[in-house]
Amino acid sequence: LAVEESRLKIPLLVGADVIHGYETIFPIPLALSCSWDTLAVERMARISAIEASADGINWTFSPMVDICRDARWGRIAEGSGEDPYLGSLMAKAYVRGYQGNNMQGNDEILACVKHFALYGASESGRDYNVVDMSCLRMYNEYLAPYKAAVDAGVGSVMSSFNIVDGIPATANKWLLTDLLRDEWGFGGLLVTDYNSIAEMSSHGVAPLKEASIRALQAGTDMDMVSCGFLNTLEESLKEGKVTEEQINAACRRVLEAKYKLGLFSDPYKYCDTLRTREKLYTAEHRSSARTIATETFVLLKNDHHLLPLDIKGKIALIGPMADARNNMCGMWSMTCTPSRHGTLLEGIRSAAGDKAEILYAKGSNIYYDAETEKAATGIRPLERGDNRQLLDEALRIAARADVIVAALGECAEMSGESVSRTNLEIPDAQQDLLKALVKTGKPVVLLLFTGRPLVLNWEATNVHSILNVWFGGSETGDAVADVLFGKVAPSGKLTTTFPRSVGQLPLFYNHLNTGRPDPDNRIFNRYASNYLDESNEPLYPFGYGLSYTDFVYSDLQISSETLPKNGELTVSVTVTNKGNYDGYETVQLYLRDIYAEIARPVKELKGFKRIFLKSGESRDINFVITENDLKFYNSGLEYIYEPGEFDVMVGSNSRDVQTKRFRAE
């Protein structure tokens, strides 16, 4: 209709939330980041673009690159974790995958980086809440992934719901024009988030008409849904409150986005029904989704090498997530067809074949309370049973088994937009089920489904093995079976810190030190910066993740104790696979600026390498450090480095590192 019957025959942008897949669903973005594999993330985005474009979509509202350090915030599931360096690399990978080379192909779509800016720092971890932070923190800790996406050529940016420095981002001229357009050089389309112009009234900033004026003048090009632009700008133009030039500039950028997609040359390039039949949920795409999912699983605990399981005897699969077909993909997966996807139970039974008997019981509801569960499951409800009967059945099944696999945690709609939580433990009914299973004395493996870090103190103490499988997408069942039975060794590393208590939040590895740090990191050291009732230390730190094999780090060396001006310094470490399995390891490099004009983090990720080592194999891993790795924004927001002493740390995670010191001239 737009092309054939409208006055100007301008083609449409057709947008959708293609966040981690379209028909073939990949792991949630937080899980994808735990692969530390930017090529895998780019491959995911490429397949997503191929499938979405084949079904008529030419614009995705992805990637979400908000740095988040507070697991209470549900949308932590949509991003790449807490680190700006890793988040920046992931942002570029998403943009490359969605947009391809130049967006001229019929399988390349317009990416939209969001939410600009600082949305992941919402106060109290409560969605849509206020954000208040210094410019120093913005520049040094939060803005980098947005800028990385801009540098990668992202075609559109979505402003965020939250306030930035007292002004809603939707109408913040400093943010949208001075920083994004003038300082960073972004020339693409700037769209609001859903209804955010109208919501400026609730912020107490302006009614709809004035809010629309302020949004346009701040640099907004497109108003999503609120109709403020549509219904008020004409009158504001007549009153002289906005100019024709301002409206033209916004229209021009919308038209340029369509031009970059090639829609004026071929308005029907995304309307090929043959591609719809041929490109959705293909065997190749499903194979990629399965492989990538295995890279995202994080082994948190594995006492006595319980995992991988031998395919023999009787294995009890128990828990409400074991046969929950509509919950495997996680949030933002509305475009797929869940009936086409396998369940965890089906995947494990398929892998076991006739070599082992797979017993099954649901075991519990998500929550004891039906209304709480209804709110938690949202659009993906699960059939409920009687709490007592479910537990009794689970214990009967467990009694027959040699080993118990418990599939527990969050359901799909418990993380994502508008699902902040104050209690981050496994829900009550499931926790009681797990305790009852452990009490049987049988070996217990916890398969943890979650879209955020959870508080797992009891589980970490009492359960033999914990494999965090997040929400693994449409191929979850087969992918989990691949790892559970040792076809693939787990290699995921956390990109977000797991706390011991909600009271520690926000919690992140790259924090600043205080004047009174706790040297022992123990519970309560009077007159030190700590807690009366809990350690400062996380349960599982950033970068953490075990394997079925054992990687040993040795012989950390630096090529010189001095980094000359305009020069470089090489860091090397030997990594040896001393276990019995082949596997991937992510070698991580961190830096610390000992003294600077402003306080600097205790450590910052500045490099990593994902390597594959066969059992018994050793390899020397090298990193090159230059002045750019030492730079930060000083009190005048100048991007500089300062000569002085630095610690370089290399290890398997942010806590377990070896350290050397050098001086930069």
State the pLDDT confidence band at 521, using cuts at 50, 70 and 90. confident
Average the pLDDT over 118-136 and give the result.
Answer: 97
The residues near 309 (Cβ < 8 Å, ≥ 6 apart) are 315, 403, 405, 445, 484, 485, 486
pLDDT in tens, 146-166: 999 999 999 999 999 999 999
């974790």: which residue's tokens? Answer: 81
Residue 493 included in any domain: no
Do 325 and 471 sit in the same domain of this protein? yes
């093995």: which residue's tokens? Answer: 465
Do 242 and 94 sit in the same domain of this protein? yes
* Domain end (from 224, 252, 276): 276
> The domain that contains 133 carries what CATH number?
3.20.20.300
What was the pLDDT predicted at 525? 86
Please check the confidence at residue 399 and state whether its pLDDT lies above 80. yes
Taking the C-alpha atoms of residue 74 and residue 159, their distance in angstroms, rounded to an integer, is 19
Taking the C-alpha atoms of residue 594 and residue 269, their distance in angstroms, rounded to an integer, is 55
Two tokens, residue 440: 């049987």
What was the pLDDT predicted at 553? 99
Residue 185 included in any domain: yes
pLDDT in tens, 325-365: 999 999 999 899 999 999 999 999 999 999 999 999 999 99
Please check the confidence at residue 6 and state whether its pLDDT lies above 90. no
What was the pLDDT predicted at 15? 98
What was the pLDDT predicted at 8? 87
Please check the confidence at residue 373 and state whether its pLDDT lies above 80. yes
Does residue 520 have an active-site annotation? no
For 529, how many CA atoms within 13 A lie in the half-sphere containing its CB?
Answer: 9
* Domain end (from 484, 506, 525): 484
Do 204 and 252 sit in the same domain of this protein? yes
Please check the confidence at residue 519 and state whether its pLDDT lies above 90. no
Closest CA to 444 of 304, 296, 320, 548: 304
Taking the C-alpha atoms of residue 568 and residue 631, their distance in angstroms, rounded to an integer, is 14
What was the pLDDT predicted at 269? 94
Do 89 and 186 sit in the same domain of this protein? yes
Taking the C-alpha atoms of residue 220 and residue 225, their distance in angstroms, rounded to an integer, is 14
Average the pLDDT over 629-633 and give the result.
Answer: 98
Q: Which amino acid is at 427?
A: P
What was the pLDDT predicted at 453? 99
Do 149 and 292 sit in the same domain of this protein? no
pLDDT in tens, 450-493: 999 999 999 999 999 999 999 999 999 999 999 999 999 999 99
What was the pLDDT predicted at 483? 99
With a pLDDT cut of 90, the percent of the chain lying above it is 96
Do 178 and 290 sit in the same domain of this protein? no
State the pLDDT confidence band at 265, using cuts at 50, 70 and 90. very high
Residue 518 included in any domain: no
Please check the confidence at residue 520 and state whether its pLDDT lies above 80. no
State the pLDDT confidence band at 230, using cuts at 50, 70 and 90. very high
Do 468 and 559 sit in the same domain of this protein? no
What was the pLDDT predicted at 153? 98
Residue 379 included in any domain: yes
> The domain that contains 430 carries what CATH number?
3.40.50.1700
- Sort 619 into a burial class: Cβ within 10 Å, 0-12 / 13-18 / 19+: middle
For 256, how many CA atoms within 13 A lie in the half-sphere containing its CB?
Answer: 15
Please check the confidence at residue 268 and state whether its pLDDT lies above 80. yes
Residue 59 included in any domain: yes
What was the pLDDT predicted at 552? 99
Average the pLDDT over 90-115 and give the result.
Answer: 97
Containing 48, the helix (H) or strand (E) segment is: helix 38-54
**What DSSP string runs through 86-136?**
HHHHHHHHHHHHHHTTTS-STT--B-EEEEETTGGG-GGG-TT------HH
Q: How far is CA 201 from the centre of its chain?
A: 31
Please check the confidence at residue 522 and state whether its pLDDT lies above 80. no
Do 225 and 288 sit in the same domain of this protein? no
Do 206 and 69 sit in the same domain of this protein? yes
Give the chain's domain count. Answer: 3
Do 198 and 56 sit in the same domain of this protein? yes
* Domain end (from 276, 304, 332): 276
Rg for the chain (alpha carbons), in Å?
Answer: 25
With a pLDDT cut of 70, the percent of the chain lying above it is 100
Q: How many C-beta atoms lie closer than 10 Å to residue 368's C-beta?
A: 14
Do 92 and 205 sit in the same domain of this protein? yes
What was the pLDDT predicted at 80? 99
Residue of 66, 193, 593, 629 marked catalytic: 193
Residue 601 included in any domain: yes
> The domain that contains 630 carries what CATH number?
2.60.40.10
């090639």: which residue's tokens? Answer: 262
The answer to whether the beta carbons of residues 53 and 318 sit under 8 Å apart is no
Two tokens, residue 259: 């031009």
State the pLDDT confidence band at 89, using cuts at 50, 70 and 90. very high
What was the pLDDT predicted at 428? 98
Two tokens, residue 660: 């050397």
Please check the confidence at residue 524 and state whether its pLDDT lies above 90. no
Range of the domain at 395: 279-484
Please name every residue paired with 298 in a beta bridge, in sequence order, or none if there are none.
468
What was the pLDDT predicted at 411? 97
Taking the C-alpha atoms of residue 320 and residue 337, their distance in angstroms, rounded to an integer, is 20
Do 271 and 291 sit in the same domain of this protein? no
Exposure string for 239-250, b = 16+ CB within 10 A, e = fewer? eebbeeebbeeb
State the pLDDT confidence band at 188, using cuts at 50, 70 and 90. very high
Taking the C-alpha atoms of residue 608 and residue 657, their distance in angstroms, rounded to an integer, is 13
Mean pLDDT of the chain: 97
Average the pLDDT over 428-439 and give the result.
Answer: 99
What was the pLDDT predicted at 523? 81
Residue 321 included in any domain: yes
Two tokens, residue 92: 């570029």
